[in-house]
Structure 1
Amino acid sequence: METIDAIKSIEIGTLLEKWVIPYGTKIILAIIIFMVGKYLARVVSRLVGRAILVSTKDEMLQSFVTSIAYFLFLLVIIIASLSQLGINTSSLVALIGAAGLAVGLALQNSLQNFAAGVMILIFKPFNKGDFIEAGNISGTVTQMGLIVLELRTADNKTILVPNSSVFNNSITNYSSNETRRIDFIFDISYEADIEKAKIVIHQILENDPRVLADPQPLVVVGALAASSVQLFVRPWVQTTNYWAVHFDITEKVKIEFDKVGISIPYNKLDLNLPNNPVIKIERNTKKST
């Protein structure tokens, strides 16, 4: 029994010495390298992002670079962890390269979106917080990602637009300039006094402090339509006041036109009925026999 116990103790000792301790140590070190490295990757990527923000004042570029830096650092950490386990990382790098090529061919659209995101950051047609129209979608830019652009619509919906759809189509930036022109068309009847209507509109614009005096608002007869005279009104406002002024001026013009008796034409439908509008419809019925 003593001999058997001695043999077992030797086998256990050998197992611990040759397998458990060496490989257990490697596994523990690999886990420590991965966990610590992951934390450092997050910290370093954030520091890189902050440096980009300080130097460029561009929050979209900061988000874009932070994401790329984090994934690159994480890839290096994974390779270092596997190397600690004794895995041949040179062949692994080659395998990752081959897999990357295969994935790249399979994800051509994603790569196009990535390239489009880089081009957007280079040319900077808009910034975070701008209200834009891109890819037939309008909204406020909230975040620029590696693949998609995040927009918040006026009714507070979040829409993710592929970067390629944004870059490959026309982009309208409504926030890039400090001032904007509002284009109104007010219809009045042919019997209405045109000069009186123009005076009323000028007074409304002058009494609104949000309407800029320079450039001077334009109030002219723009067209003689089939059933109305069209007045083109072109005031300038601060971009942030665009919709508020648009709605207020529209309402005030209707109220003031009613006060001075200027009619706004609208479509009418006249029905001419005969003296006896009741039309009898007779139906022939047959009895089945």
Structure 2
Amino acid sequence: MNLDPNYIANYANTFITKIIDYSPQVLSAIIILFVGLYAIRIINRVIRRIMVKRDLDPTLTKFLADILLWVLRVLLFVTFIDKLGIGTSSFVAILGAMGLAVGLSLQGSLSNFAGGMLIILFKPFKVGDTIEAQGILATVQEIQIFVTKLITSNNQTIFVPNGALSNGTIINYSMQGSRRADLTFSISYGTDLKKAKEIITTVLANNPKVLTSPAAEVSVKNLTDNAIQLAVRPWAKNEDFGTVVSDTLENCKLAFDAEKITFQPYITEFSKDNKQ
């Protein structure tokens, strides 16, 4: 096949002309891309500093900064392809369809994402708080977007989905700063009730970790068929709660032993039908 030299020359001239005509558009698009990436980096740093200065939650600060970063990047990419002369309407439609498909396939993850947003915004707990939720008693180590990382007292790491966490009941033991122990002592009817209460009151008063305000309470809780039940309710700081509970139990037992007072053992009542 013979090629016409004039045809090749015309084609080459047309190609070069198109490149020359299109090169300013490509050059400006590339400049916009690099300048935009640099500007986004600067904006992101400024926004982070502003949020840090306003003492926003670190988790919220990181999350908002990351969202802003990706939104600006998407806008920059759309501007870049528009500057190249590529139609953006079909591209936006494709992005919308992809977003819908991804959203339908990740409903559980989106629920956890929404739960994370609720936790970050309304702050039912923060990092370092001791909480009880989903049948778990542990300390919050990290609040992530999809899960919350908890550390139990025996050093186990538990990840709880934020969706379930935000929709369930949360008991925050750290929010108020102090906590009351609810203990029950059972003594026999032959025990001097006033003396027993005085012994417990003295034990609590001698413990420096028991708070004086609110005052500890020692009162009769119940009268059963076998024993008098005393409610012992000392208050303690959150960090001293476990120590106060164990010290109260131990020191009351030792003080009762010294006064020849015994705890009434727990007796299970059986009906006649259960007797062998």
TM range (shorter): 0.7 to 0.9
Deviation at 1:77, TM superposition (A): 5.5
What is aligned with 2:231? 232
Establish whether residue 126 from structure 1 lines up as the match of residue 125 from structure 2: yes
Change (3 A) 1:34 1:207: farther
Does the residue aligned with 1:185 lie in a helix, a strand or coil?
Answer: strand
Contact 2:138 2:153 in 1 (8 A): yes
What is aligned with 2:248? 249
What is aligned with 2:112? 113
Contact 2:186 2:265 in 1 (8 A): no
Contact 1:64 1:144 in 2 (8 A): no
**Structure 2 unpaired stretches of 5+:** 1-11, 18-24, 269-276
Contact 2:181 2:234 in 1 (8 A): yes
Deviation at 1:166, TM superposition (A): 1.3
Change (3 A) 1:237 1:46: farther
Change (3 A) 1:267 1:173: closer
Change (3 A) 1:104 1:235: same
Q: In percent, how many aligned pairs have the same letter? A: 40
What is aligned with 1:183? 182
Change (3 A) 1:146 1:265: same
Contact 1:63 1:145 in 2 (8 A): no
What is aligned with 1:262? 261
What is aligned with 1:197? 196
Does the residue aligned with 2:54 lie in a helix, a strand or coil?
Answer: helix
Change (3 A) 1:150 1:182: same
Change (3 A) 1:100 1:128: same
Q: Which has the larger radius of gyration?
A: 1
Contact 1:218 1:235 in 2 (8 A): yes
Summarize deviations over 1:245-270 as a string: whole Å, max 9, x none.
1121111111221121111233589x
Summarize deviations over 1:16-38 as a string: whole Å, max 9, x none.
x89xxxxxxx99x9999989977
- Corresponding pairs, count: 257
For residues 35 and 132 of structure 2, the distance between their equivalents in structure 1, rounded to whole angstroms, comes to 43
- RMSD over aligned Cα atoms: 3.8
Letter paired with 1:218: E
Establish whether residue 210 from structure 1 lines up as the match of residue 192 from structure 2: no
Letter paired with 1:262: I
Deviation at 1:102, TM superposition (A): 1.3
What is aligned with 1:145? 144
Summarize deviations over 1:165-188 as a string: whole Å, max 9, x none.
112111111111022211111122
Summarize deviations over 1:41-77 as a string: whole Å, max 9, x none.
6775454344223324422322332332343344445
TM-score between both structures, scaled by the size of structure 1: 0.72
For residues 247 and 64 of structure 1, the distance between their equivalents in structure 2, rounded to whole angstroms, comes to 41
For residues 106 and 185 of structure 2, the distance between their equivalents in structure 1, rounded to whole angstroms, comes to 52
For residues 266 and 258 of structure 1, the distance between their equivalents in structure 2, rounded to whole angstroms, comes to 15
User: Superposition pairs for residues 69-108 of structure 1, below 5 Å?
Assistant: 69-76=68-75, 79=78, 88-108=87-107
What is aligned with 2:63? 64
For residues 219 and 180 of structure 1, the distance between their equivalents in structure 2, rounded to whole angstroms, comes to 16
Contact 2:210 2:236 in 1 (8 A): yes
- Mean Cα displacement is larger for which, 124-133 or 93-102? 124-133
Change (3 A) 1:118 1:234: same
**Structure 1 unpaired stretches of 5+:** 1-12, 19-25, 270-289
Contact 1:125 1:173 in 2 (8 A): yes
TM-score between both structures, scaled by the size of structure 2: 0.75
Contact 1:60 1:128 in 2 (8 A): no
Change (3 A) 1:223 1:99: same
